[in-house]
Chain A
Amino acid sequence: MTTTSRLRALTRHHLFWPVAVLIGLLLVNVPFTPDFFSVKMTDGHLYGSLVSIVLFGSPLILVAVGMTLVIATGGIDLSVGAVVAITGALTCSYISDQADQSALSAVFLAMGIGLVAAVVCGLWNGFLVARMGIQPIIATLIIMVAGRGVAQLITDGQIITINSEPYKLIGGGYWLTLPFSIFVVAVVVAATMLLTRRTALGLLVESVGGNAEASRLVGIRSARIKIMVYVFCALCAGIAGLMISSNTSAADGNNAGLWIELDAILAVVIGGTALTGGRFSIGGTVLGALVIQTLTTTIYTIGVPTQTNLVFKAAVVIAVCLLQSPKFREKVFGRKTRRKVTVPAQPVAPVEPAPKTEVSR
C-alpha cells in the first residue's frame, strides 16, 4: 500500500470526518484560550475546557445514543426533550416532598419514579409507531407537545429547587477526580454497544431500517424491535433528565432539555447514521454529540455575540454536513480519486478456458 492509498482508505473510514471536524473545532479555540488543552488538578478534581465539554455534553450524548437506534429503524423521536423535563420534574418533586432530602432510599426511589415515567413515554411512542402504524414524526410529536404541559403540571408551573447531596452527584459531582456524569455516560455507551453488537439486536435494527418489508418476510418481529428501541431512547432521555436536574438541583418543566431533540438528531447525522435508517454507528454519534457541544463552547469562548450564535452554529453544521457529502467533496476538491489505468490488469475472477468459437472483432 502506498501512502496515498493509505490516506484514501483513512478518509473513507466512516468516522474520519466527525473526528476531523472535532479536532478542527478544538484547535479553533486555542488562539482565544491559550490554555484550552490544559487540564488542572484542583482540590482533587480535574478542571479544564476538555473536561467541561464532556461534562456539559453528557446529557446530549445520552439522548443522541438513544436517538441513534430509533433513527436506525427508520424512525425519529421528537419527544426526548419533553421526556427529559418530565423525568426531572417527577424526580425533583418527589425529593422536595421528603423531610430528609439526602436520604439515599428516597433519592433512589425518586429516580426510579422518574425513569419509570420515561419508560412509559417510550412504550407509548413505540405503541403508536409499531402497533398503530402512525408516522414516527407525528407519533412522537404528541409527547413533545403534551409532555411539557405534563411536566409543568407536576411542578405546578414553578421551578422546583431541591437540596440533596446524593442526587447532586449524578450531574454535578465528582468521583475519582472526574465528573461523575462522565462515568454514567461511559456505562450507558458501553452498555449500548454491548447490547447492539454482542446480541443480534444491532443487525435486526439495521435490517428493519434498511428494508422493512424484506425484514417482515424474513420473520423479524419488527414491531417488538421498534417498541424496544423507543423505550430505550426514552430511558436514555430519562437518565439525561436526571443529570440535568441534578446539575442545577432544580426541575424546570419549561426549559429543561429544550430543543435537545434537534441537537441529538444533528449529532446522529454528523456521526454518519442516515436519517433513512439502516446502518448506524454509536461511536459516530458520540463524536457527533461532542462536535455539537464543542461548537457551543467555542461560540462562547471566541465571543460570538449572543444574538448571532444560532446563526453561527447553523453555519458550522452546514459545513460539516457538506464535508460529509461525497458529491460535495468531489465538486470542491476535484475528482482526485480518478486514476488513469492504461495497462488492463488481470480480472479478479479467473477467466475460464478460451471459448471454442473464434473471437472476431
Chain B
Amino acid sequence: MAEPRPVLQMTGVVKEFPGVRALSGVDFRLFPGEIHALIGENGAGKSTLIKVLTGVHSLDGGTITLDGESVEFTSPLQAQQAGISTVYQEVNLCPNLSVAENIFIGREPTRGGRIQWKRMRKEAAELVDRLGLDIDVAAPLSSYPLAVQQLVAIVRSVGTGDRETPGSGAGQAPGSGTATKVLVLDEPTSSLDRDEVLELFRLMRQLRDDGVAILFVSHFLDQIYEICDRMTVLRNGTLVGEHLVRDLDQVGLIELMIGKALDQLEELHEHQLHSDVGETLVKAEGLGRSGKISPFDLEIKKGEVLGLAGLLGSGRTELARLLFGADHPDTGKVTIGGKQVSMSAPNDAIGAGVAFCSENRRTEGLVPDLTVRENIILALQAARGWTRPIPASQRDELVAKYIKALDIRPANPEARVGQLSGGNQQKVLLARWLITSPQLLILDEPTRGIDIGAKTEIQRLVVSLSEDGMSVLYIAAELEEVLRLSHTIGVLRDRKLVARLANGPEITTSRILETIASGEHQ
C-alpha cells in the first residue's frame, strides 16, 4: 500500500524543562484518516509532545509541518484555527457554567456583540444529540460526573471546526470554517466506563472515516488494539519505534514501552496471597449517608486487603469516603482497634491510623504549587500541628528514603509536584501517607491513568505492605486487579454493598461480574 503524504510531520523535536529533557529529538508523523496511538510510560513525554505541537509550550528544537507547510504555533488558539483540535489530559472546563456555555466558550454565537443564548443552547443540544449523547446542555457542568465532563470536553473540541458554518457574516465564530484536520485526545478514556468508551470510539471512527487524523493517548492497551491503526512508542523522551498495530503484539509493545522483558511483571501474576491475616481492625456497623450509600456493615482485618468491585458510580468511592470521615455519615458507627471513632472529619480517622488516597489526585490530593518534599510531609506535619515542625534533617532523610523506595522521578525533592507525570504524582501521594505509618490504607483507583510499570510497582507495594500487617482497602475499576490483590472482595451495586466474597480459586472475574449483575451472593 503506497503511503499517502502525512498531514502532520514532526522532526527532531526537542523540549527542555528546567532539569528535565522531556523530549530529545522525537520524530512523529500522522496520516489523514488514521487513528494513531501515542504510547509510553508516565513521564515518557506524550503530553509534552502534544503541548509542543499545539503551541502550549514553545519548541526548543526541531520542526513541525502541517500539510507540507512549516508551522510553529504560539498558542492553542492558533493551532485550533489551523485545524488541530485538542482535548488535553487535564480537563480544563468551568464547572459552574452550563454544558452549553462550556461547549461554546470563546466562540459563542453573537449578533451585534451580544451572545445569542437561545441559539447557543440549541446548537449545543444538536451537537450533543448528533454525537448520540444524553446530556442536558442547560445544566451546570458540575452536576455531571467527571466522565461526562470529559465527554463534554471532547464535544467542545470536535464541535469547533467540524460544525457546519451557520449562514455567514456577523454571527460566525472564530475557528469555524476550518475543518478539523487533526484531533488530539490525551488520555480521554481514563475516567470513562465501558459504555462511554464505546460511545467515544464510535465517534472517533466516524471522524476517521471523514478523513480526520486522530492522535490518541491511552494507557489501556486493549483500547489501543481495538481502535488504533498505527502507534508510536516513546520512552524517556526518545522515540523507540513506530509500528502498524497489526504488526506488533501486546507483549512486544509492553517490552518496548518499559525497555525490559516481561518476567518481572509476570512475577506478580503468580504471587500468592499471604494467609497471615490477623484479628479485626476496623468495624463499621450500619454506616451510611443518604443519597450516597445505603447503610452497610464491614469488617477489615489486620493485614487484610479488602477490594471493592462495582461499576462506576456504584458507591465504591462513597463507601471509602465515609470510612475516612471525608463525608459525614448520617447513620452508624465505626470502631478502629476496639475504640469507637467519631468520623466527623478526616482528622478523627487520621488520628485513628487511617489514610486515604483519593481518586482525584489533582483536586483532592496534591497541592500542585508545593514541592515534592512539601507534599510528602504534609500529612505527617498536619498530624504534628504547626508548632512542631519536622526537624529538617529527619524530614530530608524521610523524603529521600521514600523517593528512592517508590522510585519517584525526577528524584528531586525541590521539583514542583504539579509538573510530575501522573504515576509519579500518585507515588508522591502514597509516600505522603506511608510516612504516617497508617493501620488502614484506603486506595481509591491508585492505578488509574498510570502506565504499566508504575501500576505493577504500586500493586507490588500493596502486597508487601499487607504482608507487613497493614490493612488495605483497595478500589479499582479493573476486576483482575482487585481479584489479584484482595483477600476479600466487597461487591457494590447501586450504592449498596451487596456481597462479600472470600477470595479463592473458585472466585473469578466472571463470578464477580455475575454478582454485580444479579446483585446477590450466590
Chain A residues packing against B (C-beta within 8 Å): 198-201, 203-204, 206-207, 210-211, 213-221, 225, 278-279, 335, 337-342, 344-349, 351-357, 359-361
Contact = CB atoms under 8 A, between A and B. Distances in A.
Contacts of A348: 19-21, 410
Nearest to B347: A219
Most buried by B among A207, A221, A279, A340: A207
A206 B369 contact: yes
A360 B252 CA distance: 13
What are the 10 A-B residue pairs with the smallest beta carbon separation, nearest first? A352-B259, A344-B25, A341-B61, A210-B367, A344-B24, A219-B350, A200-B389, A219-B382, A359-B241, A220-B382
A213 B258 contact: no
Contacts, number: 149
A214 B386 contact: no
Given A213-B363, A345-B24, A347-B24, A204 B386 contact: yes
B61 A199 contact: no
A201 B16 CA distance: 34
Interface residues of B, number: 63
Interface in B371-405: 374, 377-379, 381-390
A341 B356 CA distance: 44
Interface in B338-382: 345-347, 350, 356, 358, 363-370, 374, 377-379, 381-382
B71 interface: no
Contacts of B243: 360
Contact of A217 (B20, B260, B326, B370): B326
24 contacts: A200-B388, A203-B370, A204-B381, A214-B365, A216-B346, A217-B356, A218-B382, A221-B347, A338-B60, A341-B14, A341-B16, A348-B19, A351-B235, A351-B236, A351-B238, A352-B259, A353-B259, A355-B240, A356-B261, A357-B256, A359-B240, A360-B241, A360-B242, A361-B239
B368 A361 contact: no
A357 B260 CA distance: 10
Given A351-B236, A355-B240, 15 more contacts: A200-B381, A207-B370, A217-B324, A218-B379, A218-B432, A335-B58, A339-B60, A341-B16, A348-B19, A348-B20, A353-B259, A355-B256, A356-B261, A361-B239, A361-B242
A341 B63 CA distance: 11
Interface of B: 12, 14, 16, 19-21, 24-25, 27, 58-61, 235-243, 248, 252, 255-256, 258-261, 324, 326, 345-347, 350, 356, 358, 363-370, 374, 377-379, 381-390, 409-410, 432
Contacts of B261: 356
Most buried by B among A213, A218, A345, A353: A218
A210 B369 contact: yes
B177 to A, nearest CB: 27
A317 B455 CA distance: 50
A341 B52 CA distance: 15
A70 B266 CA distance: 52
Contacts of A207: 367, 370, 374, 378
